[in-house]
Structure 1
């Protein structure tokens, strides 16, 4: 589906709305979740004091509410292939052409690659201008737009160039999700599946807006405890080490959430191979991931050696191979995992066609 979300009455059905506070002192903000919350945009812009706004949107213009001040619409494209430094430069030049200053603001509207790229451009332009995110994909609403991590890709790896820049607000309007094709919706489930093993528990029985709120609440707690990834925040990368490698190895034919889902299953098998968990816990991972309709097997093509080499580029791998793995006391970052164990576990994973 690609039609625009219904306008209706602003903030209709308040019973299906949730708010999650991200308390970071003077960088604090609120994540609003539910139908119609995009209509909060003008109020959030007013709170920033912005005199004008650059709206960067990968969606049709009518999907973005009036921000309440003069604005310029800048077209963007979702997708990993456009999540690069060239796109950041293009955005910053558009901001300059509009005459944007530090007293103004930027709004992003799109999926996770758009919130990442726009967030980095906002962080760099004039050394930082306020940014407000309107994530339109499930993947972006449950994870990518939350927490202030902004980054773009290099040919050598995912998210290798970035910084931390917290938004002024995140408006997760669930009306946008009605516009998603089925595969894109399932893609977002990948982050929900991995969340089950780092704090939310199995939330498949909840309505989708409650699952989003649970994932955001969990991530907010982690970010508040470790904003800049010095320890606890590593847990959010559960399933991502292999996931990122799979995205690159398949030239992004595998979507991020799909790759993370496979990475989550692999992480369980690797944890078992290291004696950290038993086979019942491995089976639990498989049950949750497959229960969301996500892939659980490796795609054809990339070899175990190729994937292992790509995983060495992971940001957590400061010495050898490092993974966030389940264990008797819960998930933890495990450094210096033996390469032969990683290779053997990869080789034992089933394969499937793309």
Structure 2
């Protein structure tokens, strides 16, 4: 199959990221050759299952692979321990054992739930990522972060558990709702800000091509994001240092998302968080006003929000900031841009500057 291949190099736990048009119906052939599991449990939300489930399951059957589909209700509201418990019981009732494997067919919620489930079911079975949203293709499907939400905050319960392979079919983006596509672009912009000024400029130039879902542009875009994330994960798999740069926009973004009752989609919250982080960087004196405006302008150009909605309580946001999983000893760590293409990690941000940015 014609494809772009990116590798995540983690010694014996290394795995490929395959990026191609029309890949969904060919995954079974590759899985058959790799022999990751005797039987596969395909985990999907009910919305993605309705769109792609039958076709994907048939492709596995045609490749001689035994697989069963398990679904849960779509949405962030399902990303909790009760869903993991219910899926665990279903796997046990269907006789899944340690020689079997899971496949995450869906977006970031599905990938996080499936990865977490795979890491704890029978003390760990293999799993494969088949991301169906732009956000999950460029970010959450790569790197091994899994987790679920609890009332106190987002992703506070989880594990680091790497997949055996990631399969990215860019054609599935044709069925993606417009807001989900824009939400994915927020994570794409993140990579340009934290690591690649040339890629940031590429995004400035290719807006129309991205929204037109031009295959060559999407392939290049997705591959570059995966390359950057793979490079970071290879150096810091468990977020001891460098990997924290991937949280650009997420510290305030996650707090805004939680304070909205998860009514604000993740990508939109990250977009808001990136604008807030850029403003904090200006207040801290490490970023020019011009660069902050350039970041905000690109985010706005892709139809993403740049300010916290007025109806979200600012004190609630501050409460969630203190329970963020990246907070240590009561100190909130922020990823602040120093220029487009480079960021720093710091807990030296004045509370009055945070208050000013949240109030803006």
Question: What's the TM-score once normalised by structure 2's chain length?
Answer: 0.89
> Is residue 105 from structure 1 mapped to residue 117 from structure 2 by the alignment?
no
The CA distance in 1 between the partners of 2:288 and 2:196, in whole Å, is: 21
In the alignment, is the contact (CA less than 8 A) between 2:8 and 2:230 conserved in 1? Answer: yes
Q: Secondary structure at the match of 1:327?
A: strand
| Aligned pairs for 1:3-22 within 5 A | 11=1, 14=2, 17-22=3-8
Aligned equivalent of 2:268, options 252, 258, 276: 258
Q: Secondary structure at the match of 1:164?
A: coil
The CA distance in 2 between the partners of 1:298 and 1:243, in whole Å, is: 9
Moved more, 215-224 or 201-210: 201-210
The CA distance in 2 between the partners of 1:97 and 1:140, in whole Å, is: 29
> Is residue 314 from structure 1 mapped to residue 321 from structure 2 by the alignment?
no
> Is residue 300 from structure 1 mapped to residue 310 from structure 2 by the alignment?
yes
| Aligned pairs for 1:225-240 within 5 A | 225-240=235-250
Q: Secondary structure at the match of 2:166?
A: strand
| Aligned pairs for 1:146-185 within 5 A | 146-185=142-181
The CA distance in 2 between the partners of 1:177 and 1:49, in whole Å, is: 26
Aligned to 1:7: none
The CA distance in 2 between the partners of 1:41 and 1:27, in whole Å, is: 21
Aligned equivalent of 1:345, options 348, 353, 357: 357
Q: Indicate how the Cα distance of structure 1 residues 100 and 45 shifts in structure 2: closer, same or farther if over 3 A, else same.
A: farther
Aligned equivalent of 1:62, options 54, 60, 65: 54
Q: Indicate how the Cα distance of structure 1 residues 124 and 46 shifts in structure 2: closer, same or farther if over 3 A, else same.
A: farther
CA displacement 1:142-164 (0-9 Å, x = unmatched): 11111000000001100000001
Q: Secondary structure at the match of 1:221?
A: helix
Aligned equivalent of 1:52, options 11, 34, 39: 39
Aligned equivalent of 1:198, options 170, 194, 202: 194
In the alignment, is the contact (CA less than 8 A) between 1:44 and 1:169 conserved in 2? Answer: no
Q: Secondary structure at the match of 1:44?
A: helix
CA displacement 1:108-143 (0-9 Å, x = unmatched): 101110000011001100111110111111111011
Q: Structure 1, unaligned stretches of length 5 or more?
A: 1-10, 349-354
Q: Indicate how the Cα distance of structure 1 residues 286 and 88 shifts in structure 2: closer, same or farther if over 3 A, else same.
A: same
| Structure 1 residue 227, shift from structure 2 partner | 0.4
> Is residue 36 from structure 1 mapped to residue 10 from structure 2 by the alignment?
no
Q: Secondary structure at the match of 2:38?
A: coil
Moved more, 147-156 or 190-199: 190-199
Q: Secondary structure at the match of 2:60?
A: coil
The CA distance in 1 between the partners of 2:158 and 2:35, in whole Å, is: 24
Q: Indicate how the Cα distance of structure 1 residues 57 and 63 shifts in structure 2: closer, same or farther if over 3 A, else same.
A: farther
| Structure 1 residue 336, shift from structure 2 partner | 4.0
In the alignment, is the contact (CA less than 8 A) between 2:28 and 2:65 conserved in 1? Answer: no
> Is residue 217 from structure 1 mapped to residue 227 from structure 2 by the alignment?
yes
> Is residue 88 from structure 1 mapped to residue 84 from structure 2 by the alignment?
yes
The CA distance in 1 between the partners of 2:221 and 2:231, in whole Å, is: 16
Aligned equivalent of 2:278, options 264, 268, 281: 268
Q: Secondary structure at the match of 2:97?
A: coil
In the alignment, is the contact (CA less than 8 A) between 2:195 and 2:342 conserved in 1? Answer: no
The CA distance in 1 between the partners of 2:66 and 2:286, in whole Å, is: 56
The CA distance in 2 between the partners of 1:200 and 1:112, in whole Å, is: 24
Aligned to 1:137: 133
In the alignment, is the contact (CA less than 8 A) between 2:245 and 2:343 conserved in 1? Answer: yes
In the alignment, is the contact (CA less than 8 A) between 2:259 and 2:313 conserved in 1? Answer: no
Q: Which has the larger share of helix?
A: 2
- What RMSD, in angstroms, separates the aligned Cα atoms of the two structures? 1.6
Moved more, 339-348 or 265-274: 339-348
| Structure 1 residue 76, shift from structure 2 partner | 2.6
CA displacement 1:46-73 (0-9 Å, x = unmatched): 4134221111122232242316322211
Aligned to 2:210: none
In the alignment, is the contact (CA less than 8 A) between 1:21 and 1:30 conserved in 2? Answer: yes
Q: Structure 2, unaligned stretches of length 5 or more?
A: 207-216
